[in-house]
């Protein structure tokens, strides 16, 4: 299992994970280069990729939509949609070369929430991405699913 985060402590988290065969990699998944580098690291470390779990995101701000500044809207989309979009794109060549695999995208039940419209829109995008990829790549042995948990602590 490769743990990827932009925080330097990701290697410590990976080392403490049960099960043994883990590694940590520092990358900014809000950029395509970060996602591509993470996939390259996974292949270099483990030989192939079978499963991608996109668990990036989280509402940055909660307020009425009219009170968001444009930069805050951009930040929410960058944080809660783009890492999943970029990682799905970057992993597909590896999954296709290996004959298939699974992508699990973590969405949110907040797609129907209030006071977090940018986050809801981003996670709605994750749902649309998941459905479109599932239909587009099913015949190639790539299964794409989403989970939509509620609040976590």
Both tokens assigned to 75:
């930040």
In DSSP notation, 1-29 reads -EEEESSTTHHHHHHHSTTS--EEEE--T
**Catalytic, out of 32, 86, 119, 137:** 119
* Strand, helix or coil for residue 133: helix
Under 8 Å between Cβ of 137 and 144: yes
In DSSP notation, 72-132 reads HHHHHHHHHTHHHHHHHHHHHHHHHHTT-EEEEEE--GGGG-SS-HHHHHHHHHHHHHHHH
* Strand, helix or coil for residue 33: helix
Q: Is 119 one of the catalytic residues?
A: yes
Tell me the catalytic residues: 119
């Amino acid at each position: 299992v490769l743990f990827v985060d932009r925080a330097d402590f990701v290697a410590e988290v990976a080392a403490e994970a049960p099960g043994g065969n883990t590694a940590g990699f520092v990358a900014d998944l809000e950029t395509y280069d970060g996602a591509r580098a993470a996939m390259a690291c996974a292949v270099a470390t483990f030989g192939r990729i079978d499963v991608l779990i996109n668990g990036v995101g989280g509402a940055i701000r909660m307020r009425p939509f009219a009170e968001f500044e444009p930069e805050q809207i951009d930040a929410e989309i960058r944080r809660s949609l783009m890492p999943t979009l970029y990682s799905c794109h970057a992993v597909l060549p590896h999954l296709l070369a290996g004959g298939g695999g699974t992508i699990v995208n973590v969405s949110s039940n907040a797609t129907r929430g209030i006071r977090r419209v940018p986050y809801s829109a981003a996670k709605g995008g994750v749902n649309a991405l998941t459905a479109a990829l599932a239909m587009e790549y099913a015949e190639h042995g790539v299964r794409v699913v989403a989970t939509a948990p509620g609040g976590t602590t």
